[in-house]
């Protein structure tokens, strides 16, 4: 996940193997270096734990989007059938909630799904006019990149480069945004 | 982190101890005693006070049926045997179902506890015998459609609707179907079980490949027989009524029960010190399975209910009238308890990630589902067979104990026959490092 506010000078370690990068994350962190983010062509099991990312809050977002759908559907069905134009169908009350469960369910799912697509675009900094920040183009192919924000580390650039090399980086590049 | 753990030894035999054998025999004995007490009470008429309380049935359909077969107290006994036989048939066959779709999907994660679903179908012959026995002894009392007069135009009993179902609901075809279900389910399970045991001895991927083929064959068979058996075992009791969702509905009920039994067994064995290689990710996936199919059952339950509610056709709504307000309202409590135990409770407690990784919550949810779906079958079977004479007495609890003891005995003795993890399974590495 890229941060929309990425700027400044970064040191990018390039790795060839997912096991190596996972191990390197632990070593680099143990050496006292703050890792900005790791980029991989595919999900690596245990990487988020190793990086110390907090638990995702996507569940809360999904719940709130779903809840807004539920409330919309309740309001819609109640207003139209219970208040604006009451109709008796099949001998039931004009507003009988059981009948509207499918509507409520569908709108909940719809709002949740669309909301999550929006969340995905916003949290990943994607959009029609946005130019994505790439630390290394090869992370879309077969390489793994570990980005280190130099402004957030007190250790010198050459020391960090040494640490990265020692933990298995095939090459270390500088990236300026 | 799961992958950080050292993998424990894979040589582990389940020991069916004399102590657990003794406990099962005791509960079986208690069950038999309870059934005997219940039968004595019913036979001597102590249970008849329920009859006076009960108001008259929900409609003409019941009154019409009541007119030509008098109620005997043994009906309740046989209805109970039938109920438990159907419930535990489902619990057993779902083991095979679980194995088969995991083979077809080439799933690796479930290999760690594969021996448990693999042990479940061993109980099928017993429930099969119980089903046939009840049908021969009391089929006439439990199944309205077995009355020959219904199909005879000259008879006052003649029923044009049931007569129209004669092609499917006739005793010879029914018996052929029932025997076929058990033979096919049990037979295909034996094949898969033998492959699995031979794989332990000889290794290689041949047994795995063959298991995929036979597992898929079972899924084809079960795709049809799960629906038809639901009609035969449960829906044909309410002969006039039908629901196009009933096959799915019963499968959903059986399936989530089976998943709850698998989860409960995994957790119980872990607490006894077995299955050390099962990590939190396996538990999480089992929890998700229960959670998902709890919702699936509710979805089918509600879909069936809502269509009938919405259309409001008398011949369909009678089914829910009988259960909600008919027979003096005696089915209202089980009807609501069913929804509470099968949906509300497991749905709420299994919601979070941490809950699905916690032994005690998984156990609670599994027990909820197992008990809840007993009520599900109770609601589907009892009103059509014993109507206002149903209740919860010693006979109900005793019968549950008898069948449950048999099931657990069969499960444990199967588990004791093989190493608790299939050591030569091609997916072994994947399951040992399962991490989500």
Whether residue B123 lies inside any domain: the answer is yes
Q: Is B151 a member of any domain?
A: yes
Residue A144 · residue A105 · CB < 8 Å: no
Higher pLDDT, A64 or A127: A64
Alpha carbon of residue B201 to chain centroid: 33
Instruction: Tell me which chain A residue has its CA closest to the CA of residue B313.
Output: A90
Answer yes or no: is B41 within a domain: yes
The fold adopted by the segment(s) A9-54+135-176 is Alpha-Beta Plaits (3.30.70)
Q: How many CB atoms lie within 10 A of CB B251?
A: 23
Residue B299 has pLDDT above 90, yes or no: yes
Which residues does residue A146 pair with via DSSP β-bridges, in sequence order? A13, A38
State the nearest Cα–Cα gap between A120 and chain B, in angstroms: 21
Q: Residue A55 — pLDDT band, cuts 50, 70, 90?
A: confident
Contact between chains at A99 and B302 (C-beta distance less than 8 A)? no
- Number of residues that this document lists for chain B: 436
Is the pLDDT at B57 greater than 60, yes or no? no
Interface of B with A (CB under 8 A): 1, 3, 302, 306, 309-312, 435-436
The model's confidence at residue B216, banded by pLDDT at 50, 70 and 90, is: very high
Across residues B236-260, what is the average pLDDT?
Answer: 94
Cβ–Cβ of A99/B1 closer than 8 Å? Answer: no
Whether residue B188 lies inside any domain: the answer is yes
In the predicted model, what is the mean pLDDT of residues A90-114? 90
ipTM: 0.79
Q: Whole domain around residue B242: which residue ranges?
A: 12-432
pLDDT band per the 50, 70, 90 thresholds, residue B52: very low
| Residue partners of A58: CB distance under 8 A and separation at least 6 | A116, A119
A99 shares contact with chain B (CB less than 8 Å): yes
Whether residue B4 lies inside any domain: the answer is no
Residues B356-398 pLDDT 10s: 999 999 999 999 999 999 999 999 999 999 988 888 999 999 9
pLDDT-based confidence at B46, cuts 50/70/90? low
Position A155 confidence tier, pLDDT thresholds 50, 70, 90? confident
Check pLDDT > 70 for residue B47.
no
By CA distance, what is A105's nearest residue in B? B299
Higher pLDDT, B297 or A53: B297
What tens digit of pLDDT does each residue of B353-362 get? 899 999 999 9
Q: Is the pLDDT of residue B213 over 60?
A: yes
A chain contacts of residue B309, beta-carbon cutoff 8 Å: 98-99
Q: Give me the helix-helix angle, B359-385 and B73-104, nearest 10°.
A: 130
Q: Is residue B1 part of a domain?
A: no
pLDDT at B54: 41
CATH 3.30.70 domain position(s) in chain A: 9-54+135-176
Interval B198-221 mean pLDDT = 94
For an interface test with B, give the residue of A22, A25, A51, A98 to mutate (most B CBs within 10 A): A98
**What global pTM score does this model have?**
0.88
In a domain? residue B3: no
Residue with the larger pLDDT of the pair A89 and B416: B416
* Mean pLDDT of the B7-17 span: 84
Confidence of residue B6 (pLDDT cuts 50, 70, 90): low
Mean pLDDT of chain A: 88
Residue B253 has pLDDT above 90, yes or no: yes
Please say if the pLDDT value at position A98 is more than 90.
Answer: no
Task: Check residue B58 and give its pLDDT.
Answer: 40
Q: Which of A68-72, A126-130, B231-235 has the lowest mean pLDDT?
A: A126-130
Contact of A49 with chain B, judged by CB distance below 8 Å, is answered with: yes
Q: State which H helix or E strand residue A13 sits in.
A: strand A9-15
- Residue pair A167/A29 in contact (Cβ under 8 Å)? The answer is no
Confidence of residue A1 (pLDDT cuts 50, 70, 90): very low
Closest partner CB to A98 (pick from B3, B306, B435): B306
The beta-carbon neighbor of A90 closest among B1, B310, B436 is B310
Residues of chain B found within 8 Å of residue A99, distances taken between Cβ atoms: 306, 309-310
For residue B5, what pLDDT is reported? 53
Residues in A touching B312 (Cβ below 8 Å)? 90-92
Sign of the Cα pseudo-torsion (B424, B426, B431, B432, in order): positive
Mean pLDDT of chain B, nearest integer: 90
Nearest to B261 by CA among B408, B137, B385: B408
A91 and B311 in contact by Cβ < 8 A? no
Structural domains of chain B, count: 1
pLDDT exceeds 50 at position B2: no
Chain A closest CA to B26's CA: distance in Å?
Answer: 47
Range B124-146 average pLDDT: 94
What pLDDT was estimated at residue B184?
97
How sure is the predictor about A88, in pLDDT bands with cuts at 50, 70 and 90?
Answer: confident
Residues from chain B that touch A103, judged by Cβ atoms under 8 A, are: none
pLDDT for residue A154 is more than 50: yes
Query: Which range has highest mean pLDDT (B57-66, B69-78, B406-415)?
Result: B406-415
CA distance A72 to chain B (A): 21
Q: Given a cut of 80, is residue A5 above it in pLDDT?
A: no
Residue B48 has pLDDT above 70, yes or no: no
Say if B153 falls within a structural domain: yes
Percentage of residues in chain B with pLDDT exceeding 90? Answer: 77
Q: Are B80 and B395 in contact (CB under 8 A)?
A: yes
- Could you give the 3-state DSSP secondary structure of residue B32? helix
């Amino acid at each position: 996940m890229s941060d929309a506010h990425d700027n400044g000078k970064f040191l990018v370690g390039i790795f060839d193997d997912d096991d190596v990068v996972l191990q390197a994350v632990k070593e680099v962190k143990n050496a006292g270096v703050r890792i900005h983010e790791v980029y991989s062509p595919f999900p690596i099991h245990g990487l988020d734990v190793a990086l110390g990312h907090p638990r995702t809050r996507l569940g809360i977002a999904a719940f709130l989007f779903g809840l807004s759908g539920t409330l919309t559907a309740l309001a819609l069905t109640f207003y139209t059938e219970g208040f604006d134009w009451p109709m008796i169908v099949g001998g039931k009350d004009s507003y009988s909630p059981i009948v509207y469960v499918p509507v409520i369910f569908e709108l909940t799912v719809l709002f949740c799904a669309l909301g999550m697509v929006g969340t995905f675009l916003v949290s990943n900094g994607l959009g029609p006019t946005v130019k994505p920040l790439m630390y290394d183009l090869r992370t879309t192919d077969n390489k793994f990149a570990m980005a280190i924000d130099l402004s957030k580390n007190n250790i010198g650039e050459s020391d960090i480069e040494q640490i990265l090399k020692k933990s298995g980086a095939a090459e270390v590049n500088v990236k300026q945004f | 982190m799961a992958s950080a753990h050292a993998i424990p030894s894979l040589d582990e035999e389940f020991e069916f101890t004399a102590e657990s054998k003794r406990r099962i025999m005791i509960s079986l004995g208690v069950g038999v005693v309870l059934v005997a007490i219940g039968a004595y009470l019913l036979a001597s008429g102590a249970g008849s006070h329920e009859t006076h309380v009960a108001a008259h049935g929900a409609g003409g359909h019941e009154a019409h049926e009541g007119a030509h077969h008098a109620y005997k107290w043994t009906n309740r006994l046989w209805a109970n045997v039938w109920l438990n036989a159907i419930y535990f048939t489902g619990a057993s066959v779902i083991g095979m179902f679980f194995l088969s779709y995991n083979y077809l999907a080439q799933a690796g994660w479930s290999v760690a506890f594969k021996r448990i679903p693999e042990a479940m179908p061993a109980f099928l012959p017993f429930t099969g015998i119980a089903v046939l026995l009840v049908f021969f002894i009391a089929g006439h009392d439990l199944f309205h459609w077995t009355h020959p007069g219904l199909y005879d135009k000259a008879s006052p009993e003649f029923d044009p609707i049931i007569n129209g179902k004669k092609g499917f609901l006739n005793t010879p075809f029914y018996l052929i179907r029932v025997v076929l279900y058990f033979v096919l389910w049990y037979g295909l399970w034996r094949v898969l079980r033998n492959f699995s045991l031979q794989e332990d001895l000889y290794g290689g991927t041949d047994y795995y490949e063959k298991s995929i083929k036979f597992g898929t064959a079972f899924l084809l068979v079960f795709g049809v027989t799960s629906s038809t058996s639901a009609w035969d075992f449960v829906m044909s009791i309410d002969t006039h009524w039908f629901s196009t969702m009933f096959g799915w509905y019963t499968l959903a009920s059986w399936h989530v029960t089976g998943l709850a039994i698998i989860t409960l067994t995994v957790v119980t064995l872990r607490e006894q010190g077995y299955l050390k290689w099962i990590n939190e990710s396996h538990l999480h996936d089992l929890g998700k399975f229960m959670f998902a199919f709890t919702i699936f059952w509710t979805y089918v339950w509600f879909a069936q209910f809502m269509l009938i509610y919405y259309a409001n056709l008398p011949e369909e709504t009678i089914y829910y009238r009988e259960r909600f307000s008919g027979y003096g309202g005696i089915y209202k409590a089980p009807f609501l308890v069913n929804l509470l135990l099968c949906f509300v409770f497991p749905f709420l407690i299994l919601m979070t990630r941490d809950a699905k990784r916690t032994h005690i919550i998984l156990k609670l949810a599994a027990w909820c589902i197992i008990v809840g779906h007993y009520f599900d079958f109770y609601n589907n079977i009892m009103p059509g067979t014993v109507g206002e004479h149903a209740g919860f007495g010693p006979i109900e609890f005793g019968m549950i104990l008898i069948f449950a003891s048999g099931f657990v005995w069969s499960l444990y003795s199967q588990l004791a026959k093989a190493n608790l993890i299939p050591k030569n399974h091609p997916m072994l590495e994947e399951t040992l490092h399962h991490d989500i």
